[in-house]
Structure 1
Amino acid sequence: MTKETLYTMNTAFRGEYSVYGYTYGRGEKSACIVGALRGHEFQQLYICSILSKKLARLEEEGAIVSGKQILVIPSLNYSAMNASHKYWLSDDSDINRQFPGNPSGPATSRIAYATLETAKEYLYGIQFRSFYLQGQFIPHIRMLASEKEGTNLANLFGMPYVLMSEGRPYEAVTLAYNWQMAGTEVFSIYSGGTERIHEGYAETAVSAVLRFLSRMGIIKYNCQGGYISTVMNEEKMLSIKSDEAGFFRKYVGTNEEVTRGQKLADIIDPMTGNVISTVLAPTSGIIFFVHDNPMVFQNVVIYRMIRKMHK
């Protein structure tokens, strides 16, 4: 393992700030793996730490294929993480809304530019991303529908689902989109959480990356087969929203199969303790996402379901 300083700049309040990368193997720039871009992405950083440790062991054993190089960038915003803050400390900007970046721009734009310049030199890109909803979800890979030719490669990760999305307007300023536009084959891995560490989901994500690297001939690793991934359109999932605000008592978790009319959760009046809303499954299917905060606001997504396919 070689620690490298990928970018350094001076900041107004914290002096010198550097972005670090950890390189395994030498030769063709085969795979670049990026972790936390925000200060609350503890799960994403934790996954990188496990992956780095395993790659270091594989390198010691001579299991990085000769002529192949892997780069891991664990965090772009660790100063915010140290301060328990989500975004960049000085101006509250989001690094993952600054790509492709500007070498003469604000701090986060410069970091974005330097990161992309390094990452785009690699053949494959893997980013551990945080889900836009607060809660637990089934680990999966997400790709833009325009990248559908890459689903065969996505299946090599052996994760339960590969979600194809039409994308949202903000995608144009994210790392994944600009990385893909620069010519790298990019895969976004969602690992079941963000602010809370989930050991099982973290191991699933690490195993998926090692499986992919092995199948692409970058490492020598005896991995289990994983899942035969189900490829589906994200827009076809059903969102269930809360019709009241209060304490959220769930009865069903992620990856559980439910039937139409089954009770999923209760919303409880925080003042009286009475149930003010009962959430029922509108159709049969599999729970993909569930809200996991003790409180819920009105009209927010509390469940997402994969509808059961009827023959």
Structure 2
Amino acid sequence: MIDTVAAAALPVDEMLRIQKNRLEPEQKNEKLKRMVIVTGTHGDELEGQFCCYEVIRRINEHKEYLNGIVDVFPALNPLGIDTITRGIPKFDLDMNRIFPGNMDGSLAEYTAHEIVEDIKGADVCIDIHSSNIFLREIPQIRISEETAEVLVPMAKKMNVDYIWVHAAATVLESTLAHSLNTSGVPTLVAEMGVGMRITKEYGYQLVEGIFNLMKDMGIWTGPVEAVREPIISTDGKVSFINAEASGVFLPHIYHSRKVKKGEHIGDIIDPITGTVIHAVESPVDGLVFTLREYPIVYEGSLLARILGGVE
């Protein structure tokens, strides 16, 4: 059943509508657990669109296995998706910086408020993000230290490659995940792929994890696939590689592979002189979980993130 969670008038007789698809079993009772899946907070992040489609498709195929409520929000920022804009167009605003919103605020604050109010009371929320257009990420869950005790056991069931536990100081209080976690809704932030693209293999991987978590919670009674064991780390194990010069970055390695300290991982080249400006090497032994996708770089641009200590 498709419901409108928030609606507001736009110019030229148009309407902004935040919609969700509620899937529930035929036999309903007050004890049913509820999972919420949200995505599309940033208009240039599309990996979650495929996940929403696949979750709904699988549930509709075998509705007899559904033993709880699943609310799917494919587009929290439909204007951003329609205009291929990361934030909310015309507002010059990142939607994931205005939660929990304000009932009496601007259009953006109002819709954020309505979204949070609708999700409150859920047993878990999966907040799916992509990377931006510049970087590619392996499927991962990002968690703040202050919520790790509750969220890490859930994250282990999500079939991701990596669980990154962030220092609490790096978590912005204005994000949807922070607002929901502080209101009592355990919220997992999933990130994968690259902006403006859909990586179907990553989508299938995360969807298997979603169904595995649903099974563990009793929301799904059907068969599920075995999930992989994720690597878990804190900020201190992650090395950031930034460009030391401006130019065109050409990686010499594939994303999601292990490297050795001193290994050549790419070059920053100058197309007009035909020279290599900087040969980029790995500072540690580890796993490349973030790799530059967009080749134009400037001094300081992020080229890669490597999780150290991975054999």
Q: Which residue identity lines up with residue 192 of structure 1 in the other structure?
A: G
* Further displaced range: 132-141 or 142-151: 132-141
C-alpha distance in structure 2 between counterparts of 1:14 and 1:97, whole Å: 28
Counterpart check, 1:293 vs 2:298:
no
TM-score (norm 1): 0.92
- Residue number in structure 2 paired with 1:11: 10
Aligned-pair Cα RMSD in Å: 1.8
C-alpha distance in structure 1 between counterparts of 2:73 and 2:179, whole Å: 17
SS in 1 for 2:90: coil
Moved over 6 A (4+): none
Q: Which residue identity lines up with residue 52 of structure 2 in the other structure?
A: C
In the alignment, is the contact (CA less than 8 A) between 1:97 and 1:170 conserved in 2?
no
Counterpart check, 1:46 vs 2:54:
no
SS in 1 for 2:42: coil
Counterpart check, 1:281 vs 2:285:
no
In the alignment, is the contact (CA less than 8 A) between 2:132 and 2:195 conserved in 1?
no
C-alpha distance in structure 2 between counterparts of 1:30 and 1:241, whole Å: 42
- Residue number in structure 2 paired with 1:112: 112
Q: 1:18 to 1:29 in 2, by over 3 A?
A: farther
After superposition, where does 1:218-229 map in structure 2 within 5 Å? Answer: 218-229=219-230
Query: In the TM superposition, what is the alpha-carbon distance from 1:41 to its structure 2 partner?
Result: 1.2
* Further displaced range: 127-136 or 284-293: 127-136
Q: Which residue identity lines up with residue 53 of structure 1 in the other structure?
A: R
After superposition, where does 1:242-257 map in structure 2 within 5 Å? Answer: 242-257=243-258
- Residue number in structure 2 paired with 1:25: 24
Q: 1:194 to 1:221 in 2, by over 3 A?
A: farther
Q: Which residue identity lines up with residue 220 of structure 1 in the other structure?
A: T
Q: Could you list the per-position Cα deviations for residues 67-94 of structure 1 after superposition, in whole angstroms to 9, with x for gaps in the alignment?
A: x111000001222222222221221212
C-alpha distance in structure 1 between counterparts of 2:12 and 2:303, whole Å: 39
C-alpha distance in structure 2 between counterparts of 1:128 and 1:148, whole Å: 18
Q: Could you list the per-position Cα deviations for residues 148-168 of structure 1 after superposition, in whole angstroms to 9, with x for gaps in the alignment?
A: 212122212232221111145
Q: Which residue identity lines up with residue 95 of structure 1 in the other structure?
A: M
- Residue number in structure 1 paired with 2:139: 139
SS in 2 for 1:139: strand
After superposition, where does 1:182-261 map in structure 2 within 5 Å? Answer: 182-261=183-262
In the alignment, is the contact (CA less than 8 A) between 1:165 and 1:235 conserved in 2?
no
In the alignment, is the contact (CA less than 8 A) between 1:35 and 1:45 conserved in 2?
yes
SS in 2 for 1:148: helix
Identity of aligned residues (%): 22
Query: In the TM superposition, what is the alpha-carbon distance from 1:134 to its structure 2 partner?
Result: 2.6
- Residue number in structure 2 paired with 1:56: 60
C-alpha distance in structure 2 between counterparts of 1:50 and 1:304, whole Å: 30
* Further displaced range: 128-137 or 92-101: 128-137
In the alignment, is the contact (CA less than 8 A) between 1:44 and 1:194 conserved in 2?
no
Query: In the TM superposition, what is the alpha-carbon distance from 1:96 to its structure 2 partner?
Result: 1.0
SS in 2 for 1:194: coil
C-alpha distance in structure 2 between counterparts of 1:94 and 1:290, whole Å: 24
- Residue number in structure 2 paired with 1:36: 40
C-alpha distance in structure 2 between counterparts of 1:303 and 1:111, whole Å: 35
Q: Could you list the per-position Cα deviations for residues 93-123 of structure 1 after superposition, in whole angstroms to 9, with x for gaps in the alignment?
A: 1211110100111111111000000011211
In the alignment, is the contact (CA less than 8 A) between 2:269 and 2:278 conserved in 1?
yes
SS in 1 for 2:2: strand
Q: 1:278 to 1:159 in 2, by over 3 A?
A: same
Q: Which residue identity lines up with residue 23 of structure 2 in the other structure?
A: Y
Query: In the TM superposition, what is the alpha-carbon distance from 1:193 to its structure 2 partner?
Result: 2.3
SS in 2 for 1:48: helix
C-alpha distance in structure 1 between counterparts of 2:16 and 2:261, whole Å: 53
- Residue number in structure 1 paired with 2:75: 75
C-alpha distance in structure 2 between counterparts of 1:280 and 1:133, whole Å: 23
Q: Could you list the per-position Cα deviations for residues 10-53 of structure 1 after superposition, in whole angstroms to 9, with x for gaps in the alignment?
A: 12356221111001115435111101112111112232222222
C-alpha distance in structure 1 between counterparts of 2:259 and 2:221, whole Å: 40
C-alpha distance in structure 2 between counterparts of 1:147 and 1:13, whole Å: 44
Q: Which residue identity lines up with residue 53 of structure 2 in the other structure?
A: S
C-alpha distance in structure 2 between counterparts of 1:244 and 1:90, whole Å: 34
